Amino acid sequence: MTTRYAWLAVFTTGFILYGSLVPFHWYAGAAANPVTYLLSRWATPAQTTAGFVANVALYLPLGLCIALALGRSITVTRRVVIAGVASSLLCISVELVQVYDWGRQSTLTDVYLNVAGGVLGALLVPLLPVRVQQPRGNLRQPLVLALLASFLVIELYPFIPSLNVSWYDDALTSLWRHPHIHDAIFVRALLHWLLAAALLGHLFRRRDGLISLALLAAGVFVGQIVMQDTWLSISEWSAAALALGLYAGLAGTASRHRAMILVCVLVAGQTYLAWLDPTVLSHGSMIAALEDRDLVAGLRRLVAAFYTVGGTFWLLSRTGLVMHRASAVLAVMLVGIALITLAFGSVPPDPSAPLLAILCALGFGLAARRRTQQANAAPT
């Protein structure tokens, strides 16, 4: 069994549960027997085109990951059967819970399409390149994986898909409806995508890293179309295209030199953002959100700070600096940005989010170093 794809199947299952049951509004009077109620709706309501595509696409990655996790040691037929059974168990459980979810429709027509999506995903596995079926690279790196997870939160939160076709049309047309490129959004997106490219390039080899980055960009693009409260931006996707080109140009340089260049770009970009918008590290960011009891907004700012600050810390460690020196250099950088905030802002900087981000990065860095030491100490 391929462990990385097994974990990816677990995360995909969690995403399906989140997208299918959040927000959940309990309705106790829906049906006395949910199984009977679900069986009675074996052909109703009729699926719309958007519902058909969404229900198949939602479970396709699950079937794909399950089949990839099982590996090439078993036959294609067994992989397809296992993926189909797992998809059916999950979607039937979700539909039974949705019986008591006010505002959702529980129907077997969803089950048919969900299972078809899982089976289709398993059938696609033999068509994938061998390097995808048998991936290379070290994924046992907590800080790198946590940073990539933070990137997905920044790009796709709140992870609630829409089945409204007009929503997709509005999302796509928003790209050319507002063609003006906003400099702050462009710079921030450029930093985010450059860091994501560096993280993927570290997990995989150079060519596979670029392929993974292209797949990530495609996934985020589609996700921003179908997710509620996320919008496509010409500023962000222009920056993403530039980041892909820049990282492809840096791919041939030595890893330390590449990390140094990216650190300089990140610091320059954050400095420019602080000069452009003094609230980047100001009191009006995280503490204000917590004082307003908006916990979600505060956590989102913390995740964004962790991604930028933790990513800079990780890049500094990639330049050859030991952990405590990387932390010291990062602290000096943050102080410099805070001084710029003081020079151009009217409110004192709030160091809570950056400091928490440094602590989180240190924790993940220590975990990664301990894992490396254990691997080196293990008998061969």
Structure-model confidence comparison of residues 242 and 177, the more confident one: 242
Residue 127 has what DSSP assignment?
Answer: G
Least confident of 40-54, 68-82, 358-372: 358-372
pLDDT at 358: 64
Nearest-angstrom CA–CA distance, 11 and 178:
35
pLDDT tens readout for residues 188-218: 999 999 999 999 888 876 666 777 788 788 8
pLDDT tens per residue across span 351-363? 555 666 566 666 6
Cβ 235 vs Cβ 304: under 8 Å: no
d(CA 361, CA 144): 10
Whole-number pLDDT of residue 170:
76
Min mean pLDDT across 21-35, 172-186, 320-334 is at 21-35
Q: Quick one: pLDDT band at residue 7, thresholds 50, 70, 90? A: confident
Averaged pLDDT for residues 156-176: 73
Which pLDDT score, from 0 to 100, does residue 375 have? 57
Under the banding of pLDDT at 50, 70 and 90, the label for residue 368 is low
Amino acid letter at 174?
A: S
Integer Cα distance of 23 and 233 in angstroms: 26
pLDDT band, residue 30 (cuts 50/70/90): low
Three-state SS annotation for 272-308: HHHHHCHHHHECCCHHHHHHCCCHHHHHHHHHHHHHH
The rounded distance, in Å, linking the Cα atoms of 13 and 63 is 10
Write out the DSSP string of 145-163.
Answer: HHHHHHHHHHHHTT--B--
Nearest to 162 by CA among 84, 226, 250, 77: 226
Q: Output the CA–CA distances (angstroms, integers) from residue 339 to 274, 306, 346, in the order listed.
A: 9, 20, 12
- For residues 274-295, average pLDDT: 52
Residue 378: pLDDT band with limits 50, 70, 90: low
Mean pLDDT for 341-353 is: 59
CA 375 to the chain's CA centroid: 28
Least confident of 180-184, 231-235, 255-259, 353-357: 353-357
pLDDT reported for residue 132: 65
pTM score above 0.75: no
